[in-house]
Amino acid sequence: MAGTQRALATYLDAADRDRFEHHVICSSNGPLVEYLRQRGVPVSVLPRRAYWHPAAVARVAWMLRRRRFDIFHASPSRVEAVAARAVGVPVVCRRNVGFDSFWAQWRQRGLVARILNAPIDRFIVPAAFLIDEYERRGVRRERVRLVHNGVNVRTPSPAEITRARSEMGDGRAQVIVSAGRLVALKGHRSLIEAGALLKALGVEVSIALLGDGEEHDTLEGLAGALGVGDRVRLLGCRRDIAPYLAAADIYAQPSLSDVLPNAVLEAMALGRCVIASDVGGMREAIEPGHTGALIAPADSRALAQELRKLLWDRARCVRLGAAAQRKIARDFSVAEMVSRTEATYEELVEVKR
């Protein structure tokens, strides 16, 4: 249940089922499938052995034709979109342009990108800066729709917050939380290095990382080498991160490259003070000095300095957190996300008619 999956679940929870009947196709079983089935959303699991495997594409095309769907919303794969258009189904695609690897970047450009983009009728993006990114990749602006992820995070009970805080620290140090996949682009190394710098300055903090990934062992080794192994806790994936966000003194998102992570928005919705790298769409939610703090990516010294200021001035943290909470309530509502998404669907249904 990473950001894309949580955004989908939030949308489906609030969608107007009298206007649209939804059916979700997943490539594997997991928490999302379980979540949706519990809520009565039809789900089909169509395993695929490879991104380009023709059998997977053919099965999607067969299902679209047999069930006579009006819209195919691909999130994020575009290969199946080719099959959808081949059977006459308009296609919406939600993508973040590709920030994860050389392969992800390469297939966004040139002839391959144009071939894969051609079947897409509308692109949905969760941050405004991506509209310009798409234009640089040959996609006209009129094909792109901005739909910010709506935030619907529950307020944990005091007991849940207490339990979460006990997992993340020893009760003496202030707690800094970061959630996301443990991959290099999320910048967790900078956060651990900042923790070591804070320790050298006599500032005791506990750092809790929520998530899992290929960097787990590397980050654990780095924390030990820097002498903060007892202060960095890698807690793995948590299905419900709200208690951990609510228990944090500060939420940190030190990404080297990113869009606008759901965890940032959820931490802000819970009134947490957020510090993040100034990348992607972070400025669409975080106004420096008003709704949070921004620092340059990969600058562990600047991160440590800003964290020290925030931890020292608790009143400022509270003010930033309160302003952040108001910002999310005003600009990142679930109702607005649903309205804009359904407007995109309606637009394509009308064109099809």
Do 342 and 219 reside in the same domain of the chain? no
How do residues 16-34 score in pLDDT, each as one tens digit?
A: 888 899 999 888 888 889 9
How do residues 158-179 score in pLDDT, each as one tens digit?
A: 999 999 999 998 888 999 999 9
Q: Which residue has the higher pLDDT, 75 or 143?
A: 143
> What percent of the chain is predicted at pLDDT more than 90?
60
How do residues 112-153 score in pLDDT, each as one tens digit?
A: 667 777 778 899 999 999 898 888 777 889 999 999 999 989
How do residues 232-251 score in pLDDT, each as one tens digit?
A: 999 999 888 999 999 999 99
Do 176 and 297 reside in the same domain of the chain? yes
Give the model's confidence band at 106: pLDDT under 50 very low, under 70 low, under 90 confident, else very high. Answer: very low
Do 295 and 181 reside in the same domain of the chain? yes
Task: Report the number of distinct structural domains present in the chain.
Answer: 2
Do 166 and 258 reside in the same domain of the chain? yes
Give the model's confidence band at 110: pLDDT under 50 very low, under 70 low, under 90 confident, else very high. Answer: low
Mean pLDDT over the full length of the chain: 88
Q: Where are the beta strands (DSSP E) in 10-143?
A: 24-26, 43-45, 72-74, 91-94, 122-125
Do 344 and 323 reside in the same domain of the chain? no
Do 100 and 191 reside in the same domain of the chain? no
Do 85 and 197 reside in the same domain of the chain? no
Do 226 and 86 reside in the same domain of the chain? no
Do 169 and 103 reside in the same domain of the chain? no
Q: Residue 317 is part of a domain; what is its CATH number?
A: 3.40.50.2000
Which residue segment(s) compose the domain that 109 sits in? Answer: 3-150+334-352
HSE-CB at 36 with a 13 A cutoff on CA atoms is 24
Q: Where are the beta strands (DSSP E) in 82-216?
A: 91-94, 122-125, 144-146, 174-179, 205-210
pLDDT confidence of residue 285:
96
The rounded distance, in Å, linking the Cα atoms of 285 and 11 is 19
Do 174 and 280 reside in the same domain of the chain? yes
pLDDT confidence of residue 22:
93
Do 181 and 141 reside in the same domain of the chain? no
Do 109 and 27 reside in the same domain of the chain? yes
- Long-range (24+ apart) CB contacts under 8 A made by 79-87 are 79/51, 79/52, 79/116, 80/56, 81/116, 81/119, 81/120, 82/57, 82/116, 82/119, 83/57, 83/58, 84/60, 84/119, 85/119, 86/61, 87/61
